[in-house]
Amino acid sequence: MKTKFSKITIPLLLLTGIFISFAFKFVNCDGYSATQKGIKTETTEYDASNNVTGKSTSEVIDSKMVGGKTLATVKSTVIDLKKNKTTESVFDVECDGTSTTVNTIKLLTDNLKKSNTLGESTASGNNPVTPNILSVGQTLPEANINISIKGEISLQSNVKMYDRKVVAMEKVTVPAGTFDCAVVTYTEDTRILFDKIKNHKVWLAKGIGAVKSEEYDKKGKLEKRTELTSITH
């Protein structure tokens, strides 16, 4: 049971940690995201000692208008070099012209349905939402996602992203280039059997999404960072 639960929560942690960080550009949305079909990105993850610990690739495989909104379908592949493990997922990103939403709840619900032993498990809450226009001092909406696991062992999991703020506008240079970014900080509280607090700092570029992110423990110690290493259109 522990293994199955872990596989299900991996996409959630990725999406809620830096995966706000991976919203993609929308055809009719001039925001900190990108939905243009064919856009591909690669990011590299480093630990506090600057060792490479993982790679991630994302591709917008479809983009269309649905009900007056832009709906992008994104395929993501995450490679954990420490565990020698690859995780693939497909999820939706939606833009209504003013904000961008990563449909984390639908992704988790689909993953739960794929498991014969977790058919009665559910995901609920509100998805991460990022306005398409950001300014210093702005407070962004909280995200709160609940997972109820029902099986041989019943478990409740909750991930809350709060205190989301735009703290700066600055240029940042990463292997993929130099970008003008909005810098967003937030706190992530993951509750499974106990609370795990993480603080995040994310550099978001117009038309791309996150080009850099840093993760700190609750004492402020840097644990890992990610950087955009390539982007193609």
CATH number of the domain to which 123 belongs: 2.40.360.20
Query: What pLDDT score does 120 carry?
Result: 73
pLDDT at 157: 87
Q: Write down the pLDDT at residue 59.
A: 93
Q: How far apart are CA 66 and CA 49, in angstroms?
A: 45
Write the single-letter amino acid at 201.
Answer: K
**Domain encompassing residue 219:** 2-232
Identify the residue whose tokens are 């991460």. 128
Please give the pLDDT value at position 139. 97
Burial class (CB in 10 A: 0-12, 13-18, 19+), 51: exposed
In the three-class reduction of DSSP (H, G, I as helix; E, B as strand; rest coil), residue 27 is classed as coil
Q: In whole angstroms, give the CA distance from residue 43 to residue 24.
A: 13
- How many residues are given for the chain? 233
pLDDT recorded at residue 12? 42
Is 39 in a helix, a strand, or coil? Answer: coil
126 C-beta neighbours (distance < 10 Å), count: 15
* pLDDT string in tens for the chain (233-residue length): 444 444 444 444 444 333 433 333 333 466 787 778 899 999 999 999 999 999 999 999 998 988 888 888 999 999 999 889 998 889 888 988 899 988 888 888 877 777 656 557 788 999 989 999 999 999 999 999 998 877 677 778 899 999 999 999 999 999 999 999 999 999 999 888 778 899 999 999 988 889 999 999 989 999 999 999 999 98
How does DSSP classify residue 15? Answer: H
- Domain total of the chain: 1
pTM, two decimals, is 0.82
- Which pLDDT value is given to residue 50? 95
